């Protein structure tokens, strides 16, 4: 093979313009369906029910001031799910396999929760850096450790999403390549590989939705600490 397995993660370009912008714009167009009817269709009803259920589940443990973030977190959840699922289609590109994009989503939202806590309850927010009942000699070390863990949070958000999606795409490409190569020489082995490919595809669909949910859920937990 002349192409590398990692070539699928290169941002496609047309006339020198990155097509990642189009890939990000398309999912909201699929979700935000406008209608002038009083009674929506079944698809709109299903979208509304799923959005309402997710928002209620996400905002349940958060205090009332944090409910202002419901629209932001729900929109982020729908965007990530759409990008992850559309990236599983053939001849498509998955923007969420790019660490730069995931960090661009994780860092501003994480920083907003930190600044919100420092503005509304600075004592409580700074108190998370030092657990209660810490021995005096360990106070400087624990403050340094907790500060490092605090700044690692957005990096963990971005790397977790990137690593899981990248690993899944690589596995699908490896098994599909093996299936194609073994079809002529070892048909039974190719059939087994094809069955594994179907199972892996179903698993990746679940991973795409779960990782989007985990991304937003962790952001809601960070928000809960600061409201």
What is the CA angle 158-160-165, rounded to 5? 100
- Segment 127-147 shows an average pLDDT of 81
Q: Return the SS3 of 202.
A: helix
Residue 105, CA distances (Å) to 69, 101, 111, 128, 218 in order = 15, 6, 11, 24, 13
Model confidence, pTM: 0.79
pLDDT above 60 (res 194) = yes
Mean pLDDT (the chain, rounded)? 82
In this predicted model, what pLDDT tens digit does every residue of 78-129 receive, in sequence order?
889 888 888 888 777 788 888 888 999 999 999 999 998 888 888 887 877 7
pLDDT band for 214, please (50, 70, 90 cuts): very high
d(CA 45, CA 112): 32
d(CA 171, CA 203): 11
Q: Nearest to residue 110, comparing CAs of 57, 63, 72?
A: 72
Eight-state DSSP code of residue 60: T
Residue 75, CA distances (Å) to 28, 31, 55, 123, 191 in order = 9, 10, 10, 31, 40
Q: Return the SS3 of 39.
A: coil
Element housing 70 (H / E): helix 70-86
Please state which of the ranges 12-21, 81-90, 157-166 shows the lowest mean pLDDT. Answer: 12-21
In this predicted model, what pLDDT tens digit does every residue of 117-130 receive, in sequence order?
888 888 887 877 77
Eight-state DSSP code of residue 217: H
């Amino acid at each position: 093979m002349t192409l590398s397995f990692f070539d699928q993660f290169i941002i496609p370009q047309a006339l020198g313009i990155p097509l990642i912008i189009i890939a990000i714009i398309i999912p909201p167009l699929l979700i935000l369906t406008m209608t002038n009817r009083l009674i929506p269709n079944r698809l709109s009803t299903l979208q509304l029910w799923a959005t309402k259920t997710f928002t209620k589940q996400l905002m349940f443990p958060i205090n009332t001031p944090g409910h202002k973030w419901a629209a932001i977190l729900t929109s982020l959840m729908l965007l990530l799910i759409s990008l992850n699922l559309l990236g599983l289609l053939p001849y498509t590109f998955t923007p969420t396999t790019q660490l730069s994009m995931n960090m661009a989503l994780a860092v501003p939202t994480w920083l907003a929760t930190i600044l919100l806590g420092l503005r509304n309850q600075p004592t409580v927010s700074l108190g998370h850096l030092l657990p209660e009942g810490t021995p005096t000699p360990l106070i400087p070390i624990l403050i340094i450790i907790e500060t490092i863990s605090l700044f690692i949070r957005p990096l963990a958000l971005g790397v977790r999403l990137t690593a899981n999606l990248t690993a899944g795409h690589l596995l699908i490409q490896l098994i599909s390549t093996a299936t194609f190569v073994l079809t002529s020489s070892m048909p039974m082995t190719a059939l087994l590989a094809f069955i594994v490919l179907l199972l892996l595809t179903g698993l990746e669909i679940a991973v795409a939705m779960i990782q989007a949910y985990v991304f937003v859920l962790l952001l809601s937990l960070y928000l809960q600490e600061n409201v």
